[in-house]
């Protein structure tokens, strides 16, 4: 049998049976909370973990545990091979040009701090400017403020419109010869808005500025290609993409990583040490002082394999359909106001209700076994922009279903019932 | 639903909807900001104190039902009383909210404030109930900076 010529493969979303199979891979989804089946809608905070990821951790600690890059013994060599294989796998996952561009870190926050303190202190000085979007998570604000305090650089904020959309024209006006770096989210954690990172990068590069993209909320939801995006740095966390906590990735262009000073000193990152002088290893090891999170790296590889087995385009398509359904469902509930209605979006819905404060919404939904996030989502400037002290946030993953959205709607009607 | 009903009792829902002593107090001689950075709740407490007596007390701010109702019931309990009464209420309220969920509650001493015993089942919400009280304490001590629950 041969494929019919001239036809493109047709991408289809996931059908309910496939989603049901996916759900069975996640032991946590079988839990009962407050005597109700768990409805987990807090995936932007952290996702649940599939068995393959859990087994990868278990396999390493039960049969493969050894340190990497040092021992000549069998287990150490095996661990080194597996650790570097995970790096190569992550390189392919985001289409980086070279595994040396993948630096293992604790998570997105550490990745951004690394760039601020290493690249930033070397290349950003007094009077220089750093552009952030108004949608940033505190992790993509505070490290830059710390850098500004150290160097005398200043932060400029690219605004968003009333739908939460990045305003390209306003951003263009902020760019100038003092702009050294533009740091933006790929997708907003508070609203879900996807930023036009490729267009942002093109414009920044015209002024010779570097571009860091915070990919924490994007990487397990939409396809990511760092070369096509043409960013200089891309940061993401394992635990928001079905992997474990305490591991993440900083992608950096190799030429940049080579010129950057180390972030932390210690073992693993050196070539030779005397009391007079130390020479550093090449990237990525230059930035990986100390024994790394080896089990985490192996589990990250399992997480990436899991995502790619579903297929990122199909996954994105399914999540988008679910987002549309959830948006329509919430809009039909009296007194619900959505914050951030622009498109495209990842599966995040932020909302407030006339009847109740977000924290009270969260507590009542919790009594129904429904987990959502309430508060400022570590993005207080976003809350200020939309004039609310806090929101309730529903965030989706590939294992969520329409039935769960219906359960959420029932829970929200109960909120109204309690408070009116 | 029982735990939830214990938390959101009718009296609390009523004080949330129609808070007592709400709004700025023009002749205040003590005032204090309270902030819960974890959830963004903000409270501004105003007192008119004459010697040992709290002649008037009002509050304004934005917060969840629990913090609003707590501020409302607190001001209702303290208005016209002495600072010593306020300190005693604070101690009793604090002891109640930090006790285990099944510990007995001294309703004679706490009166309506005893309804906040329900937060003990919801550890993340205890600070919502205690924010007004911590703000009160700072106001009476005359601290200048905003108090936070953290």
Answer whether residue A9 is part of any domain: no
Instruction: Note the pLDDT of residue A269.
Output: 86
Q: Which of B3, B16, B64 to mutate to test the interface with A (most CBs of A within 10 A)?
A: B64
Residue of A nearest to B63 (CA): A357
Interface check for B8 against chain A (CB to CB < 8 A): the answer is: yes
Q: Which of A355, A358, A363, A414 to mutate to test the interface with B (most CBs of B within 10 A)?
A: A363
CATH number at A31 reads 3.90.1150.10
| Contacts for B84 with CB less than 8 Å, ≥ 6 apart | B52
Same domain, A124 and A214: yes
The full set of domains in chain B, from first to last, is: 2-148 (3.90.1010.10)
CA-to-CA distance for A144 and A238, rounded, in angstroms? 23
Judge whether A315 and A221 are in contact, CB under 8 Å: yes
Same domain, A326 and A369: yes
User: What stretches of A241-314 adopt beta strand conformation (E)?
Assistant: 248-252, 270-273, 278-280
Of A367, A376, A380, the CB nearest to B3: A367
User: How many angstroms separate the first and last alpha carbons of chain A?
Assistant: 65
Same domain, A285 and A325: no
User: How many angstroms separate the first and last alpha carbons of chain B?
Assistant: 30
CA-to-CA distance for B5 and B10, rounded, in angstroms? 9
Of A356, A360, A383, the CB nearest to B40: A383
- Measured between alpha carbons, how far is residue A406 from residues A152, A315, A399, A410 in Å? 51, 21, 15, 6
Judge whether A348 and A191 are in contact, CB under 8 Å: yes
Answer whether residue A1 is part of any domain: no
Contact check, Cβ <8 Å, A363/B7: yes
- Angle between the B10-17 and B65-78 helix axes, to the nearest 10 degrees? 90
Same domain, A31 and A131: no
* Phi, psi angles (nearest 5°) of residue A256: -75, -45
CA nearest to A250, candidates A292, A192, A312: A292
Contact check, Cβ <8 Å, B4/A358: no
- Measured between alpha carbons, how far is residue A170 from residues A129, A160, A174, A198 in Å? 15, 9, 7, 16
Element at A133 (helix H, strand E): strand A129-133
Same domain, A316 and A269: no
Instruction: Note the pLDDT of residue A7.
Output: 63
Same domain, A396 and A285: no
Same domain, A72 and A147: yes
User: Given A262, A280, A309, which residue is the final one in a domain?
Assistant: A309
Residues of chain A with pLDDT under 50: 1-3
CA-to-CA distance for B13 and B23, rounded, in angstroms? 19
Of B42, B64, B124, the CB nearest to A357: B64
3-state DSSP percent of chain B in helix, strand and coil, to 5: 50, 20, 30
Same domain, A257 and A286: yes
Mean pLDDT in runs of 10 for chain B (150 residues)?
Answer: 82 93 95 86 94 96 93 96 95 94 89 93 91 94 72
Contact check, Cβ <8 Å, B65/A367: no
| Contacts for A126 with CB less than 8 Å, ≥ 6 apart | A151, A152, A153
Answer whether residue A10 is part of any domain: no
CA-to-CA distance for A27 and A4, rounded, in angstroms? 40
Instruction: Note the pLDDT of residue A8.
Output: 65
Same domain, A379 and A291: no
- What is the domain extent for residue A75? 53-309
Contact check, Cβ <8 Å, A418/B4: yes
Same domain, A180 and A224: yes
Answer whether residue A216 is part of any domain: yes
Interface check for A367 against chain B (CB to CB < 8 A): the answer is: yes
Residues 25-44 of B with CB under 8 A from A: 38-42
Chain CA centroid to CA A249, Å = 10
User: Given A263, A288, A309, which residue is the final one in a domain?
Assistant: A309
Interface check for A245 against chain B (CB to CB < 8 A): the answer is: no
Same domain, A197 and A329: no
Residues 72-91 of B with CB under 8 A from A: none
Total domains, chain A: 2
Answer whether residue A115 is part of any domain: yes
CA nearest to A341, candidates A191, A167, A217: A191
Residues of A in contact with B42 (CB under 8 A): 389
Instruction: Note the pLDDT of residue A255.
Output: 96
User: Given A277, A309, A341, which residue is the final one in a domain?
Assistant: A309
Residues of B in contact with A357 (CB under 8 A): 63-65
* Phi, psi angles (nearest 5°) of residue A86: -65, -40
- From A134's Cα to the closest Cα of chain B, the distance in A is 18
Contact check, Cβ <8 Å, A364/B122: no
ipTM for the whole complex: 0.87
Residue B16: CA count within 13 A, CB half-sphere: 23
Phi-psi region of A262 (alpha: psi -120 to 50; beta: other; left: phi over 0): beta
Active site (catalytic) residues of A: 378
CA nearest to A233, candidates A155, A123, A309: A123
Answer whether residue A8 is part of any domain: no
Structure tokens, A383: 């809350």
CA nearest to A222, candidates A99, A314, A300, A309: A314
Interface check for A142 against chain B (CB to CB < 8 A): the answer is: no
Interface check for A371 against chain B (CB to CB < 8 A): the answer is: no
Judge whether A250 and A103 are in contact, CB under 8 Å: yes
Interface check for B7 against chain A (CB to CB < 8 A): the answer is: yes
Same domain, A109 and A203: yes
Instruction: Note the pLDDT of residue A267.
Output: 84
Count of A–B CB contacts within 8 Å?
48
Structure tokens, A347: 């599966």
- Measured between alpha carbons, how far is residue A358 from residues A391, B34, B39 in Å? 5, 19, 9
Q: Is A23 helix (H, G, I), strand (E, B) or coil?
A: helix
Answer whether residue A3 is part of any domain: no
CATH number at A144 reads 3.40.640.10
Rg for chain A (alpha carbons), in Å?
22
- Angle between the B126-141 and B65-78 helix axes, to the nearest 10 degrees? 40
């Amino acid at each position: 049998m041969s494929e019919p010529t001239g036809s493109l493969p047709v991408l289809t979303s996931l059908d309910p049976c496939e989603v049901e199979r996916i759900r069975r891979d996640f032991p946590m989804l079988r839990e009962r909370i407050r005597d109700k089946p768990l409805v987990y809608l807090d995936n932007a905070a952290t996702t649940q973990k599939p068995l393959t990821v859990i087994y990868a951790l278990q396999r390493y600690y039960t049969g493969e545990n050894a340190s990497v890059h040092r021992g000549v013994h069998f287990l150490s060599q095996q661990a080194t091979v597996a650790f570097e294989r995970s790096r190569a796998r992550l390189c392919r996952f985001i289409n980086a040009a070279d595994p040396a561009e993948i630096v293992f870190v604790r998570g997105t926050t550490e990745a951004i701090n690394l760039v601020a303190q290493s690249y930033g202190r070397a290349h950003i000085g007094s009077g220089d400017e750093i552009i952030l979007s108004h949608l940033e998570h505190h992790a993509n604000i505070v490290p830059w403020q710390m850098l500004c305090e150290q160097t005398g650089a200043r932060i400029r904020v690219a605004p968003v419109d009333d739908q939460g959309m990045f305003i390209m024209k306003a951003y263009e006006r902020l760019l100038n010869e003092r702009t050294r770096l533009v740091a933006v989210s790929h997708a907003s954690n508070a609203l879900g808005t996807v930023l036009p990172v490729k267009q942002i990068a093109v414009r920044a590069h015209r002024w010779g500025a570097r571009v860091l993209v915070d990919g924490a909320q994007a990487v397990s939801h939409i396809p990511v290609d760092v070369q096509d995006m043409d960013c200089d740095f891309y940061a993401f966390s394992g635990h928001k993409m079905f992997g474990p906590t305490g591991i993440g990735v900083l992608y950096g262009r190799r030429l940049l990583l080579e010129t950057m000073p180390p972030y932390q000193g210690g073992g693993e990152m050196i070539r030779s040490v005397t009391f007079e002088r130390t020479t550093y290893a090449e990237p990525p090891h230059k930035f990986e002082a100390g024994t790394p999170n080896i089990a985490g790296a192996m589990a990250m590889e399992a997480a990436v394999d899991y995502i790619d087995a579903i297929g990122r385009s199909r996954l994105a398509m399914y999540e988008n359909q679910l987002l549309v359904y959830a948006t329509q469902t919430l809009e039909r509930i009296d007194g619900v106001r959505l914050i951030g209605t622009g498109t495209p979006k990842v599966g995040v819905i932020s909302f407030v209700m006339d009847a109740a404060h977000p924290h009270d919404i969260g507590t009542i939904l919790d009594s129904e076994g429904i987990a959502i996030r309430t508060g400022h989502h570590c993005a207080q400037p976003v809350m200020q922009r939309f004039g609310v002290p806090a929101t309730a946030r529903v965030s989706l993953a590939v294992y969520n279903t329409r039935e769960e959205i219906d359960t959420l709607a029932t829970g929200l009607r109960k909120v109204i019932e309690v408070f009116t | 639903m029982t735990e939830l009903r214990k938390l959101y009792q009718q009296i609390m829902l009523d004080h949330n909807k129609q808070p007592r002593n709400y709004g700025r107090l023009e002749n205040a001689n003590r005032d204090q900001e309270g902030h819960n950075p974890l959830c963004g709740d903000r409270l501004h407490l105003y007192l008119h104190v004459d010697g040992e007596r709290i002649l008037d007390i009002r509050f304004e701010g934005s917060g969840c039902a629990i913090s609003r109702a707590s501020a409302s019931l607190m001001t209702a309990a303290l208005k016209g009383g002495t600072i010593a009464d306020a300190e005693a209420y604070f101690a009793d309220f604090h002891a109640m909210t930090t006790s285990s969920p099944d510990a007995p509650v001294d309703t004679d001493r706490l009166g309506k404030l005893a309804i906040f015993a329900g937060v003990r089942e919801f550890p993340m919400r205890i600070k919502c109930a205690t924010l007004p009280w911590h703000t009160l304490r700072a106001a009476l001590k005359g601290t200048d900076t905003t108090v936070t629950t953290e």
